[in-house]
Amino acid sequence: MAALKEKRTCGQRCEDFGHFVWNSDEGKLMGRTPEKWVYISLYYVAFYAVMTSLFSLAIWTLMYTLDPYTPDYQDRLTSPGVMVWPDTYGEEVIEITYNTSDKASWMKMTKILNEFLEPYNDTKQLECHNYNCTKGKYFLQKHFLGPHHTKYSCPFLQSMLGPCSGFEDPTFGYNCSMPCVIIKMNRIINYLPTNRTDVAPYVNCTVLEGEGNVAKMEYFPENGNMDPSYFPYYGRLAQPSYVNPLVAVRFSLVGGKHAKIQCRVVSEKISYENYHDPYEGKVIFYLKALK
């Protein structure tokens, strides 16, 4: 019968480990001579240097082929989305509800609109833009003729929103039953909303529910037009001072003073019937004034 292996003490185990770390009889460090450790170290240094170089080359090649001004893939952005301000979103819908008798309620709406319109301030826009755009025509730019290798962009002044600019009425109509909402179309690089410049895209709002509660709708600028001179958009790097054209809509609420409204940007190249994207080409919101 084979003899049982003798159980080694803790001291003997430590001694064996120390002998493994440095074997003075054979001159080995952790099982290898210093010469072999040098060869192994040089091998891994060379290996990781080559791997790092290949990775860096791959990243450099990728970045070299990318255009910093235009995304390579825009196949999913065939039609722009549309948004509305005040952007008081509920769980699933946009609900613009305020109380004309509660100053804190309607002041909340005016604060949202004032913050949103801050970049459109007339003074700021005129300081940032010193180029006179030709209205009614696309502002096509092949070259970077603006300062610091940029392209020019057309100013959109807050005052162009007329009674909904906040200048004539700082409350934007929310202290009564004539509230203003602002419609904005999202940006798509190099996008032209129409094939012709003589027909500008425009905003059209319809009452889906509560038609008898809306006596009148007014659009600012006139006819709710988005002038073609604001298109195309060339990207944030190319046009750092660009701002979206806006359309303000003022509603005159009567009766029950609540309605479900759809506002869409009308143009031949803007679709609005995408079931999977409810904000493509249009926005639906609820507008309600309480007493």
CB under 8 Å to 150, separation ≥6 — which residues? 144, 237, 238, 239, 240
Sign of CA dihedral 124, 128, 131, 135: negative
User: Is residue 214 included in any domain, yes or no?
Assistant: yes
CA 192 to chain centre: 19
Q: What is the mean pLDDT of residues 263-273?
A: 88
Q: Does 72 fall in a domain?
A: no
Per the prediction, the chain carries an average pLDDT of 86
Strand partners for 216? 252
Domain-embedded: residue 26: no
- What is the SS3 string spanning 249-278? EEEEECCCCEEEEEEEEECCCCCCCCCCCC
The top-scoring range by mean pLDDT among 47-61, 88-102, 186-200 is: 47-61
Which of 52 and 63 is assigned the larger pLDDT? 52
C-alpha angle 39/41/47, rounded to 5°? 100
User: What is the count of structural domains for the chain?
Assistant: 1
Amino acid found at 85: W
Q: What 8-state DSSP symbol labels residue 35?
A: H
- Model confidence, pTM: 0.77
CATH number at residue 231: 2.60.40.1660
pLDDT digits (tens, 9 = 90+) for 242-257: 999 999 999 998 887 8
Whether residue 166 is contained in a domain is answered as yes
Tell me: pLDDT of 240 over 80: yes
Domain range for residue 265?
82-289
